[in-house]
Amino acid sequence: MDMNEVFLETAEKQFLYYKQLGEKAMAQLEPEQLFQSWNEDANSIAVIVKHLWGNMLSRWTDVLTTDGEKPWRERDAEFVNDISSREELLSKWEEGWNCLLEAIRSFTPEQLSHIIYIRNEGHTVMEAIIRQLAHYPYHIGQIVFAAKMLKETAWDSLSIPRNGSAQYNGGKFAKPKARKHFTEDVLHIEKGEELQ
């Protein structure tokens, strides 16, 4: 497998990992908590999801042939909290992620060096992917942080539980060295559960 193929596979796994973190954080909240914010300048989880949705649709629709900042995008409206239900929020969440993942899966390794534009600024496809691999996890972190602050009962850890590092590391070091992406075990479990 050449390095561009490895990059595309790794990028997809990273995006799926952060998608899963956001979903697991939101699943721990009551529906009304998804719409709460601390003050006028703070975004609710619903607003963050709406912004991710708008960005993903704009950046990844017809990515090879049109500017990533689409004329139909209304970025300022993404920060207005007008989603009315958990179902609507999750529908936008899925629509955005599906648009992104379909684009990533459609690229050939050779296309990673093609120039695309975001607000008339040229990026290689690889640079555009890396740009969003920094942007989307930034917002997922906000979702996780807000969810931890809002949850009224014990938080279910999304990674290594507090005071669980020794046990986690013991399990990892008990296995032989192997080349694998760190998300494979987590994503494999999720995919297996979906098939049942």
Q: How confident is the model at residue 195, as a pLDDT?
A: 30
pLDDT of residue 161: 84
- pLDDT tens, position by position, 37-53: 988 889 999 999 999 99
Distance (Å) of CA 157 to CA 81, 154, 161: 28, 9, 5
What tens digit of pLDDT does each residue of 77-135 get? 999 999 999 999 999 999 999 999 999 999 999 999 999 999 999 999 999 999 999 99
The letter for the amino acid at 51 is H
Q: What is the DSSP letter of 112?
A: G
157-196 pLDDT tens trace? 998 888 889 988 888 899 888 887 888 877 764 544 433 2
- pLDDT at position 188 is 61
